[in-house]
Amino acid sequence: MSSVIAPYRPQSAPEPAPVSQLDVNYLNASYGVKSWLLTTDHKRIALLYLVSLSLMFIIGGLAATLIRLNLLTPTGSLVTADTYNKLFSAHGIIMVFFFLVPVVPSVLGNFCLPLMIGARDLAFPRLNLASWYVYMTGAALILWVIFSGGVDTGWTFYTPFSSKASHTDVVPALVAIVFAGFSSIFTGLNFIVSVHRLRAPGMTWFRLPLFVWSLYATSVIMLLATPVLAAVLILVGVERLWGIGIFDPALDGDPLLFQHLFWFYSHPAVYIMILPGMGIISEVITCFSRKNIFGYKFVAFASVGIAVLSFLVWAHHMFVAGQSAYSALIFSLLSYLVGVPSAIKVFNWTATLYKGSVTFHTPMLFALGFIGLFTFGGLTGLMLAALGLNVHVHDTYFVIAHFHFIMVGGMVMAYMAGLHYWWPKITGRLYPEMWGRVAAMIIFIGFILTFIPQFVLGYQGMVRRSHVYDPQFQVLNVLSTAGASILAVGYALPLTYLIYSLFRGKKAGPNPWSATGLEWQTPSPPPTHNFAVQPVVDCGPYEYSLQSAELGADVHGN
């Protein structure tokens, strides 16, 4: 059985309430469908998002499965060219707009942010609920579009194909994405006002957990970039509905204007996706090395720096599209700059690990996987920022491999790390640790097998978004698909054992990881109002040095 681990308790924390069978928490405070669908509790809203986002991930993953199956043969015998176009469009739209952008802010952010700052809820609880309904409307609409014929424009909707030539349901898809965008604006607004106005006494800016810093930076990006996306998608819709030409070169319009406005959102969007993941890594690395983060202020400011710099690099997606050479030069230089704050974070995480007391629980395995894969993917990003190389690999599988390394090898692994880390807090149950570690290894191996071949394919010249390819590329494609099947198994595992743990998992105490942070000072699962007494903060967020020395066994007595 598990040995007693002295719970982390800073001098000022309130006494944890006694755990008893009759304890009321946010899950059992009220019953019935209405109490969930009309809730304003940020924790319940986080769970609503968890369910819907998991569903979207599965659907997006199914599209990816069909893509990879089709690419087993060079003649693309599984689906027609048209269907293939619709498949990669569906995969991109769902994964970008309906999974990666909302997942960490709306699930883990919604759940943890008020707890981490010592508040009873977010600043605008009803707005929070509204953001979920707006998201669901967009999600329902995009699923309707996809299953009733789909769009074939790619998730990038380049004009004039999307505004003039495509024969698919482009306008409903655009409306759905605008809805998803509004949902993220509401969430970001909520986070920013909450961090400014609802921090507990003593919680100064530099005592905030780094997850909160990253969510704040993410919210800044969400608020400033998403409106531009809404505007440009509306313009495309107007052009399509009224048959006029805003981006149509035949009518003196410029297709590049669409690309400028589109990427002004979509590049910061990738930082919306990755920044919360980086915040999770900061939390997990410190906890499972029992060490304060190395260079707290550097990591905090790096988050803000990434948020600002991310807005200055968008045209690196357009190097070969026809922009002026001087403009390309400027954006190339700025793209190199944006790698610096990310690198600072990687250095600081590594330094945190150094001489730490490292244990390899599931969240830590995912986090370590993140650091390796994100760094590798980030380096290939610098390669893409070089104008000369970009000309060679643009629109090849090199680009695809690069962003999947960041998004899947990076972001999804960070999400897995956070989900496992906070699972005891969210559900009051422990997941089976052995299965967690197995899943982490399988995902890591499957991922590498899937995407490393794609770097080689891209460099050798295999073009993206094509359902057929030159037969010389078949071996690597088969390898990649084999890896994808392993990856699928890897993702199916957490789905299974996490749900299993809801019914048969060991009950978790308030702080199974002996972690610092206000969210661990309240029962698992937390009561509806989070804290019985408002906490008062008097130390930094990662003061593991204050902890008592009895740290031997882990929670499972292993």
Partner 1 sequence: MSKIKTTEQIASASLYYAVYIALVILTIGTVGLSFCNLQNWHTIVGLIIATCKATLVALFFMHLLHSARITWLALFAGLFWLAILMSLTLTDYLSRSWLQY
Partner 2 sequence: MATRNASVRWHHFDSLQHQQESTTLGMWVFLATEVLVFGAIFTGYTVYRVAYTPSFEAASRQLNLLIGGINTIVLLTSSLTMALSVQAAKSGQRRKLVRCLGLTALMGIAFLGLKAVEYYGDYRDKLVPGLSFDPVQWTAPDVHPSQVQLFLIFYYCLTGLHAVHLTIGIVIIAILAWMARRNVFSPHYYAPVEIWGLYWHFVDLIWIFLLPLLYLIGTRDRWL
Q: Which does 226 bind (CB under 5 to 8 A by kind): partner 2, partner 1, none?
A: partner 2
Which H, E and C letters describe 492-510, residue by residue? HHHHHHHHHHHHHCCECCC
Looking at beta carbons only, is 42 or 207 nearer to partner 2? 42
> How is 441-491 classified by DSSP, letter by letter?
HHHHHHHHHHHHHHHHHHHHTPBSS-S---GGGHHHHHHHHHHHHHHHHHH
> How is 10-74 classified by DSSP, letter by letter?
-TTPPPPPPP-TT---TTTSS-SHHHHHT---HHHHHHHHHHHHHHHHHHHHHHHHHHHHHTTST
Q: Which does 27 bind (CB under 5 to 8 A by kind): partner 2, partner 1, none?
A: none
Looking at beta carbons only, is 74 or 227 nearer to partner 1? 227
CA 230 to chain centre: 21
Binding partner 2 by CB under 8 A: which of 37, 238, 546, 553? 238
Peptide bond between residue 160 and the one before it cis (omega within 30 degrees of 0):
yes
Burial-class residue 556 by CB neighbours within 10 Å (0-12, 13-18, 19+).
middle
Binding partner 2 by CB under 8 A: which of 18, 32, 243, 388? 243
338 binds partner 1 (CB under 8 A): no
Q: How many residues bind partner 1 (CB under 8 A)?
A: 22
Looking at beta carbons only, is 69 or 312 nearer to partner 1? 312
Of 307, 148, 170, nearest to 238 by C-alpha is 170
Q: Determine the interface stretch with partner 2 among 58-66, 118-126, 161-169, 295-303 (rule: CB under 8 A).
A: 118-126
534 binds partner 1 (CB under 8 A): no
Interatomic CA distance for residues 431 and 425, integer angstroms: 11
Site for partner 1 in 256-315 (CB under 8 A): 256-257, 260-261, 264, 311-312, 314-315
226 binds partner 2 (CB under 8 A): yes
Interatomic CA distance for residues 354 and 304, integer angstroms: 25
Site for partner 2 in 122-141 (CB under 8 A): 122-125, 127
Q: Which does 120 bind (CB under 5 to 8 A by kind): partner 1, partner 2, none?
A: partner 2
191: number of CA atoms within 13 Å, CB side? 32
How many other C-beta atoms lie within 10 A of the C-beta of residue 550? 11
Binding partner 2 by CB under 8 A: which of 83, 164, 254, 343? 254
Query: How near is the Cβ of 324 to partner 1 at its closest, in Å?
Result: 4
Q: Which residue has the tokens 């060991």?
A: 506
Looking at beta carbons only, is 264 or 431 nearer to partner 1? 264
Binding partner 1 by CB under 8 A: which of 28, 324, 472, 548? 324
Q: Determine the interface stretch with partner 1 among 78-86, 125-133, 194-202, 237-245 (rule: CB under 8 A).
A: 194-202
Query: How near is the Cβ of 204 to partner 1 at its closest, in Å?
Result: 8
Interatomic CA distance for residues 287 and 360, integer angstroms: 11
Looking at beta carbons only, is 27 or 127 nearer to partner 2? 127
Looking at beta carbons only, is 184 or 477 nearer to partner 2? 184
164 binds partner 2 (CB under 8 A): no
Tokens of 266: 């979509």
Q: Is the dihedral of CA 536, 212, 108, 447 positive or negative?
A: negative
350: number of CA atoms within 13 Å, CB side? 10
Query: How near is the Cβ of 251 to partner 2 at its closest, in Å?
Result: 5
Q: Determine the interface stretch with partner 2 among 121-129, 166-174, 316-324, 406-414 (rule: CB under 8 A).
A: 121-129
Q: Is the dihedral of CA 426, 429, 431, 433 positive or negative?
A: positive
507 binds partner 1 (CB under 8 A): no
Interatomic CA distance for residues 174 and 182, integer angstroms: 12
Looking at beta carbons only, is 119 or 346 nearer to partner 2? 119
Looking at beta carbons only, is 70 or 159 nearer to partner 1? 159
Tokens of 463: 């073009």
Binding partner 1 by CB under 8 A: which of 72, 127, 224, 387? 224
Looking at beta carbons only, is 262 or 398 nearer to partner 1? 262
Q: Which does 330 bind (CB under 5 to 8 A by kind): partner 1, partner 2, none?
A: partner 1
38 binds partner 2 (CB under 8 A): no
Binding partner 2 by CB under 8 A: which of 74, 227, 295, 356? 227
Looking at beta carbons only, is 85 or 259 nearer to partner 1? 259
Task: Count the residues in the chain.
Answer: 558
Binding partner 2 by CB under 8 A: which of 102, 209, 253, 490? 253
Q: Determine the interface stretch with partner 1 among 4-12, 255-263, 359-367, 472-480 (rule: CB under 8 A).
A: 255-263
Looking at beta carbons only, is 196 or 392 nearer to partner 1? 196
Interatomic CA distance for residues 270 and 92, integer angstroms: 13
> How is 141-202 classified by DSSP, letter by letter?
HHHHHHHTT---STTTT-TTIIIII--S-HHHHHHHHHHHHHHHHHHHHHHHHHHHH-PPTT
Residue 429 sits at φ, ψ, to 5 deg, of -125, 155
246 binds partner 2 (CB under 8 A): yes
Residue ranges binding partner 1 (CB under 8 A): 196, 199, 201, 220, 224, 228, 256-257, 260-261, 264, 311-312, 314-315, 323-327, 330-331
> Residue numbers of the site for partner 2 (CB under 8 A)?
114, 119-125, 127, 185, 189-190, 192-193, 196-198, 223-228, 230-232, 234-235, 238, 242-246, 251-254, 257, 260-261, 264, 529
